[in-house]
Amino acid sequence: MIKSTLFCQAHIVNEGQVIVGDVLVVGDKIEKIGQNLACDGADVVEANGFWLMPGWIDDQVHFREPGLTHKAEIATESAAAAAGGITSFMEMPNTVPQALTQRLLEDKYERADEVSVVNYSFFMGASNNNLEEVLRTDAKRICGVKVFMGSSTGDMLVDEEKILEGIFKESPTLVATHCEEESVIRANMAAAKQRWGETVPMDQHHLIRSEEACYRSSSKAAELAAKVGTRLHILHISTAKELALFDGNKPLSEKMLTAEACIHHLWFTDADYATKGTHIKWNPAVKTASDREAIRAALLDGRIDVIATDHAPHTSEEKNNSYFQAPSGGPLVQHGLPAMLEMVHEGVLSVEKVVDLMAHRVAECFKLEDRGYIREGYKADLVLVNPDAEWTVTGDNIMYKCGWSPFTGAKFKSRVIGTWVNGVRVWDGQKILTERGNHAGERLTFDR
């Protein structure tokens, strides 16, 4: 028997407007959007006063499997993602082993098919030595190729000019880049060590991994992409200076160069290092309040195209170390959407704009098939939010395997009370549900 769900009198946030109406889901797809809908045998969700929105598509996460599962696993982090209103993720290749061959990449897909609560795709990794493998990437079944133009784990730093140009010129799909200029970072780090030795204060992080390090690498990537015709997506923009590289006037469908902003660069500033310390140590670094305000403004004028988490968990033991010993990255998938909706309550963004940046534009940027909108015939990836259900992030409600959050103690006004993936309810506001063996997610496909 095909399962049906009827959402009644929801505030449907979709395609730039909020309308009150009903949504009928039959099987894994949205069957009908309208008023006073009925369906015999459907599960009825009384959604009056709640926001119903397409699920967030997070285009940058690190779920640590294989090889780093003491930090996180696909099963645990996809569950936390579902609790945070994420219905699809795109995961990065710097696991152990690194996803530098098509076989290793497919191993990750096979694992996700077994355990992922939400939909998934995985980036193909690039290095100085695997151009032939990169060129075998299937643009219809893989989200993109990831290039580290800055520090990374293992040998994934692509710093040979000929190889970098070859990847940019010949990649069969979108190229996503981490842009930080390694030579600038090394010089800044040497100067910091000369002053402080091994006890460099955490508040130097944004000066070591500086504005200049970010801009020099981002501008280099943008220039090379324009030269060879690359479809380039620059990840986690962290500085005001970099925003000059992007065009806010061109429609997304016409852009060859797009930009992503992350939750932590939209929320924290360098002033927070005093209280948060290494728990907000990311690469690129959280920078100044003026950088944060510039990035927020770029969400509104079109220079920033999408929002992501860069979810990258480490254990508390790893993070509770000195500046040089603590790894960069932190867990965010459970709390990213509530944080963005807090900005709605503060008047920074409209809820329609949040949905545009976290669902619609991600789908368009990556050319996802049948996802990212509430449309008849599209996959039923849906999130129900109570906009007025205040809650506090505590150790008791954190779902990450690592058990901590940079948002611990934060109060959010909005709560995710339901998440549906391909028509299956996987989150009820309190717990992950067990339908379909707790893994309703499917492999994402792309219209390229």
Q: Are 21 and 13 in contact (CB under 8 A)?
A: no
| Nearest residue to 306 (alpha-carbon basis) of 234, 378, 206, 247 | 234
Beta bridge partners of 337: none
H or E segment to which residue 87 belongs = strand 86-91
d(CA 292, CA 339): 14
Bridge-based pairing of strands 86-91 and 56-61 is: parallel
Bridge-based pairing of strands 4-14 and 51-54 is: parallel
Q: Are 246 and 272 in contact (CB under 8 A)?
A: no
| Nearest residue to 171 (alpha-carbon basis) of 125, 219, 215 | 125
Catalytic annotation on 113? Answer: no
d(CA 14, CA 162): 44
Q: Which residues of 298-334 are buried (b: 16+ CB within 10 A; e: fewer)?
A: bbeebbbbbbbbbbbbbeeebbeeebeebbbbbbbbb
d(CA 209, CA 184): 8
| Helix axes 211-228 and 182-196, enclosed angle (nearest 10) | 170
Q: Return the SS3 of 270.
A: helix
Residue 155: what residue type?
D
In DSSP notation, 391-406 reads EE--TTT--STT---T
Please return the burial class of 146, using the count of CB atoms within 10 Å of its CB with bins 0-12, 13-18 and 19+: buried
Compute the CA torsion angle 177, 143, 30, 439 (nearest 10 deg): -100
**Percentage helix, strand, coil, to 5, in the chain?**
35, 25, 45
Q: 22, 59, 272, 310: which one is catalytic?
A: 310
225: left (phi over 0), alpha (psi -120 to 50) or beta: alpha
90 Cβ contact list (under 8 Å, min separation 6): 57, 58, 59, 60, 61, 120, 121, 122, 123, 143, 144, 366, 444
Going through 316-376 in order, the beta strands assigned E by DSSP cover none
Q: Where in the sequence numbering do the catalytic residues fall? A: 310
